[in-house]
C-alpha cells in the first residue's frame, strides 16, 4: 500500500487541536519535522510550553490520527518542550485567548454582507437548539445595529452578580447579551474601532454566562474590527456562514469563509436563507435563485447545513419578538431551523 506523503500527513494533523483552543497544531506551527518510509511515520513537535499534560495529550492525539492513515503501520511522535517550568502553563500561542468558564462551545454566525437574514437565522437557531434541550446563550456583536433585543422581544437590562459581573437577561429560555440592553432606545453608538474591541472583550470577561452547551455569536456583516476582535478574544469552536442563493451574496460570502480560514476557525457549515417562496396558490417562486448555497458549500468543501425558505411567519416572529421556532415549533418555518440545529448538534457529537 502506498505511503502517505508529507503533505498528506501534515493535512491529517490539522485534525489535532491544541488543548483548550479551536486552532490546530499545524496552524500554530508546532510541527518541526515529518518523516515517512516503509509503513513508519515519525513526527517531531516543538512546543512553547513545558506543561507535561499538554505534551502527553498532543502525543496521543497525533499518534491516533497518524495510525489511521492508509499505509501506516507504526507512528512515533516525539515532543520537545521549552518555556515555563514543568507543570506551569508556559507561553502558549494566542495566550490572550481564554475559554469562557462554563461555556462548552462558541459558534459565530457570520455573513460577508448585510441583508441575508443572518440575525434572524441566529435567533431562530438559538431557540431551535434550546428546543432540542441544549443550554443556549446568544451574544449580539453588532455594535452599530443590534437587533437581538427586538427579535427576542426584550429590553431588560442585565443585573449584577455578587462579583460584579453582568448577568444576562433570559428570554425564551435563552441567555442574551447585546449593546442594545446597555444604551437607550434609538441612541446611536458612535464609536471607533478600539471601543468596539473593548466592548466585545467585556462581553466575555465581564458577563456571567453560567453553564452553556452553546454560545451563539451574531456577528455584523463584513470582516472588520468585530470579527477579528472575536477571533482574538476567545477560541471559536466553529463558524456558521449564512448566505442567500444569488451570486451577489455568494461572492461576498467567500470573503467571510476566507476570513475564518485565515484565523484557523473551523467552519461548521453553510446555510442558504431565503431559498424560495411558496405562493398562496402553491407555486414555488425562487426569488433569489435557488441552490447557490449548496453549490458553494460543495465548491468550498464545506458541510451544507440546510436551506430556509421565505416564510411570512419568520418575518412576523422577528418583528414581534417571538421567533418562529418559539411561536409554532411544529410548523414548516420552525422545522427548517430545527433540522439545521440537529445538524449542528451532530457536527459536535
pLDDT in tens, 167-202: 999 999 999 999 989 887 666 676 666 787 788 888
pLDDT for residue 97: 62
**Averaged confidence pLDDT in the chain:** 86
In three-state secondary structure terms, 168 is coil
pLDDT for residue 192: 66
pLDDT for residue 130: 98
Q: What is the sign, positive or negative, of the torsion defined by CA atoms of 230, 119, 336, 128?
A: positive
pLDDT for residue 134: 97
Q: What's CA 21's distance to the chain center, in Å?
A: 13
The stretches in the chain having pLDDT less than 50 are 83-95
pLDDT for residue 93: 45
The conformation of residue 91, written as its DSSP 8-state character, comes to S
Q: Is the separation of the CB atoms in 149 and 155 below 8 Å?
A: yes
pLDDT for residue 183: 81
pLDDT for residue 118: 92
pLDDT for residue 81: 74
pLDDT in tens, 333-344: 999 999 999 999
Do strands 214-218 and 136-140 pair parallel, antiparallel, or not at all (unpaired)?
parallel
User: Domains, the chain, ranges and CATH?
Assistant: 6-81 (3.30.300.130), 106-347 (3.40.50.300)
pLDDT for residue 224: 65
Contacts of residue 176, defined as CB under 8 A and 6 or more positions apart, other chains included, come to: 137, 138, 139, 140, 148, 149, 152, 154, 168, 169, 170
Amino acid at each position: 500500500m502506498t505511503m502517505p506523503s508529507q503533505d498528506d500527513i501534515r493535512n491529517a494533523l490539522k485534525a489535532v487541536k491544541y488543548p483548550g483552543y479551536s486552532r490546530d497544531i499545524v496552524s500554530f506551527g508546532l510541527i518541526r519535522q515529518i518523516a515517512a518510509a516503509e509503513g513508519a511515520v515519525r513526527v517531531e513537535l516543538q512546543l512553547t510550553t513545558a506543561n507535561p499534560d499538554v505534551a502527553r495529550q498532543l502525543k496521543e492525539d497525533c499518534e491516533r490520527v497518524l495510525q489511521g492513515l492508509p499505509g501506516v503501520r507504526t507512528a512515533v511522535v516525539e515532543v520537545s518542550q521549552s518555556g515555563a517550568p514543568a507543570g506551569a502553563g508556559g507561553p502558549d500561542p494566542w495566550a490572550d485567548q481564554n475559554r469562557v468558564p462554563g461555556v462548552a462551545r462558541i459558534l459565530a454566525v457570520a455573513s460577508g454582507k448585510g441583508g441575508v437574514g443572518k440575525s434572524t437565522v441566529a435567533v431562530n437557531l438559538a431557540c431551535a437548539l434550546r428546543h432540542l434541550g441544549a443550554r443556549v446563550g446568544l451574544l449580539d456583536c453588532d455594535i452599530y445595529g443590534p437587533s437581538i433585543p427586538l427579535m427576542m422581544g426584550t429590553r431588560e437590562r442585565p443585573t449584577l452578580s455578587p462579583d460584579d459581573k453582568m448577568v444576562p437577561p433570559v428570554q425564551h429560555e435563552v441567555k442574551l447579551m447585546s449593546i442594545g440592553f446597555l444604551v437607550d432606545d434609538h441612541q446611536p453608538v458612535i464609536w471607533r474601532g478600539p471601543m468596539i474591541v473593548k466592548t466585545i472583550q467585556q462581553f466575555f470577561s465581564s458577563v456571567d454566562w453560567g453553564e452553556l452547551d452553546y454560545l451563539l455569536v451574531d456577528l455584523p456583516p463584513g470582516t472588520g474590527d468585530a470579527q477579528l476582535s472575536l477571533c482574538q478574544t476567545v477560541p471559536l469552536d466553529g463558524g456558521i456562514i449564512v448566505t442567500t442563493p444569488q451570486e451577489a451574496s455568494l461572492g461576498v460570502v467567500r470573503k467571510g469563509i476566507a476570513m475564518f480560514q485565515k484565523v484557523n476557525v473551523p467552519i461548521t457549515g453553510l446555510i442558504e436563507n431565503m431559498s424560495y417562496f411558496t405562493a398562496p396558490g402553491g407555486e414555488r417562486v425562487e426569488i433569489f435563485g435557488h441552490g447557490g448555497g449548496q453549490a458553494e458549500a460543495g465548491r468550498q468543501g464545506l458541510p451544507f447545513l440546510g436551506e430556509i425558505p421565505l416564510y411570512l411567519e419568520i418575518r412576523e416572529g422577528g418583528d414581534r419578538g417571538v421567533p418562529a421556532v418559539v411561536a409554532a415549533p411544529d410548523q414548516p418555518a420552525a422545522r427548517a431551523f430545527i433540522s439545521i440545529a440537529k445538524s449542528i448538534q451532530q457536527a459536535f457529537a
